[in-house]
Chain A
Amino acid sequence: MVIRQALDTAAIFSASSIANDATRMRIRERYILARFPQFAAQRADLTVPEIVLRYAHEMAEDGLTQRAAELMTLAIEENRGLRKVWLALIEFSFLQGDSHRLSELCTAFKREFPDATLEEFLLLDGLTEPDADIEAVRTKLRYWASGATVASIADANGLRRDLFAH
């Protein structure tokens, strides 16, 4: 019951919570620009889903999967309304097999977007039972991540490419 156990874990951090602390904001800014210097000139790009997802996709292609996930996390921390990035990160965590992170994110996503009928996803047996029907879970994840109809996506692993396409 991975997901249910994680329901009370802390949600994703919000950068706005330290907006009044100049020192911490400065360290965060320094960190972001040192870690992802491509945002130095256009800092606002970090809140543009298409740009974030493109970079994340390229990093994943370079084998820098942890850094790709971190970039998406930073973007969400900057603007929690980036639904597309949320869903891409959830899908990414799933494909990475990081069940702990996946359950954290699903919980946080549900809190952030209460209008989303995520219950449908959470009630799936797929992630909560040992003999999970992985394909069923993937199908569901794709549905949530893309907002498109399931039938329009053929490749089980193709969601990221679809999301990242630009």
Chain B
Amino acid sequence: MLTACAATYLPIKMELVPLSGHPSFSNSAAPSSMTKAHSAWAEFFQGFIGGSNKGLSAALNNASTAQRLGAAVAEFERISADERLSILQGTAMASDAKNTGADWVVSQYAALLRYAQQTRDSERAHRAKNAHKIVDSDRPSVTEAMLFGYSLLLSGHLYKWRMVAGLQGGQSQEHLTDIVDQYRRAHADGLADVAIEIQVEGRPIIASVEAIFVRALLVHRLSSGNLNNRQLDILDNWFCDWMRALWLTRDAPISAAFAFDLASGQGLRPNAEDSDVAATTPQNKQMVYLPMHAVQRRLDEAVAMFHRGKVAPGWGLGQAFRIEEHIGVMDYLAREMTSSLGGVGSKPTEKPTRVLLPPDTAVAVYVGLNDVWSFAAVKRATSSKRGNGVSTGTHAYPAFSQKAGNFAPIDLARKTWPLHDMSTTGAGFALDHGLAQSVETGDLLSLTHTNAREPIIGYVTRKAPQQSGNRVMVGMQILARNAVRITLDHLVQPESGAQRPGVSALFIPGEEIASTGQPGVRSNISGQLRGDDSIIISETISKAQSSLRLKAGETAYTIRFGRVRLRGRGWNMVAFEVVAAEPIA
């Protein structure tokens, strides 16, 4: 029996991260609960790789190496659950302790992965050496399949946590090459289709080795910095839960699909994109396809779970995250599928030309709706009868409007960021890790270029470490170049006579207005507004208020909010209509 044989070549020599030398233990800021978890895991893992069953269920005494590995992975995820949750829930301004914690999680998943791969290779070598002695050929296959499965699973975990820790750029080729190599070997051994039971966050999931490979590919494809850490974890848990339904096909499906070339090891690509290439050089490719409707159906099921009052997938750390994070993942996944997989024959959208800028190009940036509204030199609508209607001039930032001889106050909100590239629809920044910690995917930004009179309003769509170097690439999608700063009043004021403070918001002209480059704002803030005009407002306000009043020029417009067109971190961009217009008394 293989299990008996396996015990003869275990334990495997492992290179452990020394407990005393790990940064966590030299960091006095690390919470004691964290160090306790590290100690508990280190004690367990050292015993585990030494062949001890201490800490494992008695039922595993005679278990295979793969089953013991599964128990160890489950034990690590149990011990580290609180710390991982704390890291994922951390704000953008992560503390040193949280950074250290993320590094620790990465190092432990790496250690488990090394163990899985070494054990798998030992099993294979042992089987090859003793093939003539092994009677029960089913047992080795299942054990090796499980080890392949865990290797691929842990590769996915490791990739995700390297992204969380800021140690890895999106879609690294090195990672992809590794998981493809693992899958090729499993396929060559005839193990790709073997269904196995694996543990994810303590939950048993039955999936084929191939499905675990697909999950790793999807994590690689879709974790390119467009999601924050919490959303990345939610998405990955969905993929893990969907593994039972993720099957690759060798024949190109009629419907939209992700395509993957096993020969070149290039990442998942839209079917339509690849079909052109396949038509010209089919001999050099080993194409496999993931039909998109399989992913769409699972996404529909996740949405249906929320309708039924359950947080999909019903397990994992994501259960503790805000509903808005889950919705962000739904929107992202739907957008990805729509944009890249419009159907067979569809062509990818042409990207605008990106201009690389000199290394010393810097711009002034404000982050978050409050700071953008308060400090960025956005045009503002005057809100009293004395005004001249909507101003088309630039609102001077207070620090710049001081009279000569006076010192301008220090502007803590203003950030100077190096601008890496620019296009008509977006901008890219190359930030060092310190600066990058102050921003997260979904944050609202204003960018003031030296040549521009007015700031550009946009939001962060991508944040990922560079493949090389120690900088983090932050991508910004432009929303407007001629936004207007507005203040909205509540329709009902308290009976006490005290005025409720106005609501800060930004008017975002519709696409037609923006494309013409004409201010034209006044003509839009009147009458029945349809079209593309929107207002950016805080998430809290947009939930609490359906109507507010905007005073512009000599008129007070009652505005009713409509659907949310876009949402970010703490803000919503909502459509609206004017339901009443009255002269200001």
Contacts and interface: CB of A to CB of B under 8 A. Distances in A.
B311 interface: yes
Interface string B291-317: 000000000000110111111000000
Contact of B306 (A31, A40, A41, A62): A31
A28 B543 contact: no
B309 A24 contact: yes
B575 A41 contact: no
B572 interface: yes
Contact of A38 (B324, B327, B561): B561
Interface stretch (A66-74, A117-125, A132-140, A152-160): A66-74
A2 interface: no
A73 to B, nearest CB: 7
A38 B564 contact: yes
A159 B311 CA distance: 35
A55 interface: yes
A13 B543 contact: no
A28 B303 CA distance: 11
A154 B523 CA distance: 35
A88 to B, nearest CB: 16
B13 interface: no
A41 B544 contact: yes
Given A30-B323, A55-B563, A62-B565, A38 B574 contact: yes
Contact of B564 (A18, A26, A37): A37
B546 interface: yes
Interface string A60-103: 00101010001001100100000000000000000000000000
A25 interface: yes
B35 interface: no
A34 B309 contact: no
B542 interface: yes
Contacts of B307: 13, 15, 28, 31, 73-74, 77
A18 B308 contact: yes
Interface string B506-550: 000000000000000000000000000000000100111111000
A21 B303 CA distance: 19
Interface string B18-44: 000000000000000000000000000
Contacts of A15: 307
B362 to A, nearest CB: 35
A158 B565 CA distance: 24
A28 B564 contact: no
B131 interface: no
Contacts of B324: 34
A24 B309 CA distance: 4
Nearest to B577: A58
A40 B324 CA distance: 14
A28 B543 CA distance: 15
A44 B565 CA distance: 22
A27 to B, nearest CB: 4
Contacts of A70: 303
Contacts of A23: 309
A130 B133 CA distance: 57
A24 B564 contact: no
Contacts of B561: 37-38
Contacts of B327: 31, 34-35
A26 B309 contact: yes
Interface residues of A, number: 31
B563 A38 contact: yes
Interface string B355-395: 00000000000000000000000000000000000000000
Contacts of B563: 36, 38, 55, 58-59, 62, 64
A33 interface: yes
A5 interface: no
Contact of B546 (A38, A66, A77): A38
A13 B308 contact: yes
B562 interface: yes
A13 B304 contact: yes
B579 interface: no
Given A27-B311, A30-B323, A58-B563, A37 B542 contact: yes
A27 B562 contact: no
A30 to B, nearest CB: 5
B5 interface: no
A149 interface: no
A21 B575 contact: no
Given A38-B561, A38-B574, A27 B546 contact: no
Nearest to A68: B563
A27 B320 CA distance: 12
B534 to A, nearest CB: 10
B334 interface: yes
B308 A28 contact: yes
Contacts of A40: 542-544, 546
Interface string B556-574: 0000011111000000101
Contacts of A13: 304, 307-308
25 contacts: A13-B304, A13-B307, A13-B308, A18-B309, A21-B309, A23-B309, A24-B310, A27-B310, A27-B311, A27-B323, A28-B307, A30-B323, A31-B307, A31-B323, A31-B327, A37-B561, A37-B574, A38-B563, A41-B544, A41-B547, A55-B563, A59-B563, A62-B575, A64-B563, A73-B307
Given A24-B308, A64-B563, A77-B307, 20 more contacts: A15-B307, A21-B309, A25-B309, A26-B309, A31-B306, A31-B307, A33-B543, A34-B322, A37-B543, A37-B564, A38-B574, A40-B542, A40-B543, A41-B544, A41-B547, A55-B562, A58-B562, A62-B563, A73-B307, A74-B307
Closest 6 CB pairs of A and B: A24-B309, A41-B546, A28-B309, A31-B306, A40-B543, A27-B309
